[in-house]
């Protein structure tokens, strides 16, 4: 097996291990399933482009989060001027029955109204990542993570659906 074939196999294994992580980030930044799928594809392209240069200095999951978040934040910036603010579709595996899971749907809509950086931060916190890992992914200090989370949680309480 040559080096290119091995690299492709390694990448496929990485994607398989991190598929849920990638899709969770994409879903949080999407305004529907189609957009989430598009973001997922774009994230895979960016991950593949950077895969050869990933040196393993950080945890694999940290690197995947960072690349995927950057992809989604850049997409969000480009498409921020959307006039349609209709609620997100929640017909994915995460929320099999929308009516039965209205609190999750409400939280998802509120998170969608946050600034992209705050969305990324709350997503990582909801994934139960430790503050130091969140800090490494986002490029801020663990103390800053703590302070921002307090502010974001307070803001989420005041956002109307």
User: Binning pLDDT at 50, 70 and 90, where does residue 46 land?
Assistant: very high
Q: What is the pLDDT of residue 89?
A: 40
Average pLDDT for 39-67: 91
As a whole number of angstroms, the distance between CA 119 and CA 31 comes to: 13
- Please state which of the ranges 28-42, 49-63, 77-91, 98-112 shows the lowest mean pLDDT: 77-91
Average pLDDT for 47-61: 88
Q: What is the pLDDT of residue 80?
A: 60
**Nearest CA-CA partner of 92 in 110, 105, 76:** 105
Q: What is the pLDDT of residue 31?
A: 81
As a whole number of angstroms, the distance between CA 72 and CA 24 comes to: 11
Average pLDDT for 34-41: 93
Compute how many other C-beta atoms are within 10 angstroms of the C-beta atom of residue 149. 17
**Nearest CA-CA partner of 94 in 29, 6, 24, 43:** 24
User: Binning pLDDT at 50, 70 and 90, where does residue 101 land?
Assistant: low
Q: What is the pLDDT of residue 37?
A: 93
What is the overall mean pLDDT for the chain?
83
As a whole number of angstroms, the distance between CA 21 and CA 47 comes to: 13
Q: Is the dihedral of CA 160, 135, 92, 78 positive or negative?
A: positive
Which of the two residues, 67 and 4, has the higher pLDDT score?
Answer: 67
Question: Does residue 88 surpass a pLDDT of 50?
Answer: no
Q: Is the dihedral of CA 56, 61, 64, 68 positive or negative?
A: negative
Residue written as token pair 């990542």 = 129
Kindly report, residue by residue over 132-152, the tens digit of the pLDDT. Answer: 999 988 889 999 999 999 999
CA distances from 138 to 71, 74, 98, 142 (A): 13, 14, 31, 10
**Nearest CA-CA partner of 124 in 142, 103, 106, 100:** 142
92 neighbors 116 (Cβ within 8 angstroms): no
Name the percent of the chain lying above pLDDT 90.
39
């Amino acid at each position: 097996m040559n080096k290119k074939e091995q690299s492709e196999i390694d990448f496929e294994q990485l994607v398989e291990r991190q598929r849920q992580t990638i899709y969770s980030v994409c879903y949080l930044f999407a305004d529907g399933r189609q957009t989430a799928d598009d973001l997922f594809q774009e994230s895979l392209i960016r991950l593949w482009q950077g895969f050869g240069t990933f040196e393993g200095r950080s945890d694999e999951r940290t690197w995947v989060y960072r690349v995927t978040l950057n992809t989604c934040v850049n997409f969000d910036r480009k498409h921020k001027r959307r006039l349609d603010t209709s609620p997100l579709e929640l017909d994915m595996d995460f929320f099999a029955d929308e009516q039965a899971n209205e609190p999750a749907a409400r939280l998802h809509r509120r998170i969608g109204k946050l600034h992209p950086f705050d969305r990324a931060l709350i997503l990582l916190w909801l994934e139960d990542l430790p503050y130091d890992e969140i800090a490494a992914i986002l490029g801020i200090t663990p103390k800053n993570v703590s302070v921002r989370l307090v502010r974001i949680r307070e803001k989420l309480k005041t956002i109307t659906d």
